[in-house]
Amino acid sequence: MKRTRLLNSELSYEISRIGHTASLTLCDAGLPIPSGVKRIDLAIERGYPSFLKTLDALLSEMMVEEIVVASEIHEHNSKTFEGMLDVFKRHDIKPVVTSISHEEFKQLTRESEVMVRTGECTPYANVILKSGVVF
């Protein structure tokens, strides 16, 4: 059995195979998932698992150099955005933050290696994580 924090084998596998600059999208329960992009659906019920808790677990195994968010998060869900930055800080990760429109964000998710759906039900609780390197 794994000793590290992230126990979901499918998620751990996908993180292990993502190369530098490839992306993983972590999303709320409502974000459309494009056909052709692998989906890992963790959603069990409304709010579970939460976006921030799932991000925290992901960052225990993934190095991130850039994040992309919908610019609407700043106005409509600043609490989640600030919480996201706190999670990165706890993992000693300082990613570049890029904000684009929600429509552009949805289009960009098509380039993700995998999309991880949470049970989060707050607006714009989505982030594209661009893989960094550990050296």
91 is in an annotated binding site: no
CA 37 to chain centre: 14
Identified catalytic residue from 20, 74, 76, 91? 20
Phi and psi for 59 in degrees, rounded to 5? Answer: -70, -10
92 is in an annotated binding site: no
76 is catalytic: no
39 bridge partner residues:
115
Max Cα–Cα distance, the chain, nearest Å: 43
**Which sign, positive or negative, has the C-alpha torsion 41, 47, 52, 54?**
negative
125 is in an annotated binding site: yes
48 is in an annotated binding site: no
- Summarize the annotated binding site as residue ranges: 28, 102, 124-126
- Summarize the annotated binding site for substrate as residue ranges: 28, 102, 124-126
**Active-site residue numbers?**
20
